[in-house]
Amino acid sequence: MHTRSRLPAPAVITRAMRIAALLAVVLAAGLSAGCGGGDVPGAATDVMATTPASPDAGAYASDVSDLADHADQVNRDYSRQVDRQQAGVIDTATLIADADDGVREFTVMVGTLEGMEPPQGLAEAHRQLISAFGKWLQFYRLQVSGLRNDDAGQLAQAHELDSQAVSEASQAINSINGRPDR
């Protein structure tokens, strides 16, 4: 059975959730204003079920915003489950199943990002987004393995990957909005 000290700190996951939410808001606002993106026709589509986005800045911002919202929800749900496991409300097997769900969700999100074509000038920022989401995917994989094997080292690696993902996502947002030093 896991001890409380071996699980990731909920504050770290909460920080990841804030970055994902910030990514959604800032990308939508920054790309529409800063890259000449016009109105996005129609309601936002489920980016998980669509073909890769066109290089249109408005469509790109909308698709990335949808992904960031979904990532935020996955991370928030997992954070709640970590809290519940630490409180003894659910067992480790349930938390492992939830981390497995995170692996599946982030696998789809990374694939979606990889299939998108960013607007001109945003290729590097887009690569950073793919890298950040890939690190969150690896975070969930290490959570599964670390929880199954009661391996504090893997859980510590997961914690580090989460921190790196947050940093990369923040850098990508700043690059997209023309503020690389922030």
Share of the chain above pLDDT 90, in %: 48
What is the per-residue pLDDT for 169?
Answer: 80
For position 83, what pLDDT does the model report?
96
Where does the pLDDT of residue 60 fall: very low under 50, low under 70, confident under 90, or very high at 90 and above?
Answer: confident
Q: 3-state SS string over 130-169?
A: HHHHHHHHHHHHHHHHHHHHCCHHHHHHHHHHHHHHHHHH
The pLDDT of residue 58: 76
Total residue count of the chain as it appears in this document: 182
pLDDT for residue 147: 97
Is residue 83 one of the residues assigned to a domain?
yes
pTM of the model: 0.71
Closest CA to 62 of 131, 127, 116: 116
Please indicate, yes or no, if residue 102 is contained in any of the structural domains: yes
Domain boundaries, position 107: 4-176
Mean pLDDT of 82-92: 96
pLDDT the model gives residue 126: 94
Structure token pair of residue 117: 């074509």
Residue 153 has pLDDT above 70, yes or no: yes
- pLDDT interval class at 48 (50, 70, 90): very low
Is residue 181 domain-resident?
Answer: no
Domain count, the chain: 1
Residue 165 lies in a domain: yes
**Res. 179 pLDDT band, cuts 50 70 90:** low
Q: With left for phi above 0 and alpha for psi between -120 and 50, is residue 37 left, alpha or beta?
A: beta
Q: Is a pLDDT exceeding 80 seen at residue 99?
A: yes
- Predicted local distance difference test score (pLDDT) of residue 165: 92
Residue 40 domain flag? yes
Cα 38 to Cα 85: distance, rounded to the nearest angstrom = 45
